[in-house]
Chains A and B, each alone.
Chain A
């Protein structure tokens, strides 16, 4: 079953605008990660936020985590055409002595030059 659900499913913005993607999940987590996937390619890890963290930055990326609402958001500032890709959240939860990573369904971002 899907642990994470992204919203919106698709997003189209102009270059230079900010893009915000949201992820909601169902159970308590150890951490939450965001991955990027260019069309048909492998996923690339972007950023990880632990359950005791509320906000994290990496370059033009800003991730927030609200464990009380079981939600996270990924903000890409000053978007570029090269940011066009699908973005997935992935929750890490403890399961039988190891950490299980479960992916959401993704947000497809299109940045128009």
Chain B
């Protein structure tokens, strides 16, 4: 089954404790992206990756890091989480943002993060 898998789905942590949210897709998609969703603000893009070893900042990258060492994985790293990073996080993937003018994104089920 084609899917985007995120882990963990729920996490409560404390300020400053490094954490990683993993994302994996099995569709051989080139493009992957992280979003955060906050009430009243919709989805805002954190980082995206056009392909292996190619990443770039989205609209709200501060406090986050990403890496793309393999095509299927795109982990989101919070080096020193703070309470304002409490949010619902989504990973998404797409075949290609350039080659095909569709941009249809496939989303994971979300990771709800609480930073105390």
Closest partner residue, chain B, to A4 (CB atom): B42
A109 CB to closest chain B CB (Å) equals 15
Q: Give the most central of A41, A42, A48: most B CB within 10 Å.
A: A42
Q: Does B88 contact A (CB under 8 A)?
A: yes
Query: How many of B's residues come within 8 Å of A, CB to CB?
Result: 27
Q: Contact at B42–A99, with CB atoms within 8 Å? A: no
Tell whether A103 pairs with B42 under 8 Å between CB atoms, given A41-B109, A42-B109: yes
Contacts of A41 in B (CB 8 A): 109-110
A48 to B108, CA, bound (A): 20
- Total A-B pairs, Cβ < 8 A: 65
Contacts of B102 in A (CB 8 A): 31, 48
Which one of B50, B90, B112 contacts A43 once the chains associate, using CB atoms below 8 Å?
A: B90
Tell whether A98 pairs with B40 under 8 Å between CB atoms, given A33-B104, A42-B108, A45-B104: no
Q: Is the interface of A mostly helix, strand, loop or mixed?
A: strand
A47 CB to closest chain B CB (Å) equals 10
A104 to B40, CA, bound (A): 10
The 8 closest A-B CB pairs, nearest first, are A42-B107, A105-B42, A103-B43, A98-B97, A92-B103, A99-B97, A43-B107, A42-B109
Sample of 19 further A-B pairs with CB below 8 A, known A31-B101, A42-B4, A98-B50? A30-B103, A31-B102, A31-B103, A33-B104, A44-B107, A45-B104, A45-B106, A50-B101, A88-B43, A97-B98, A99-B101, A101-B97, A101-B103, A103-B42, A103-B43, A103-B44, A105-B41, A105-B42, A106-B42
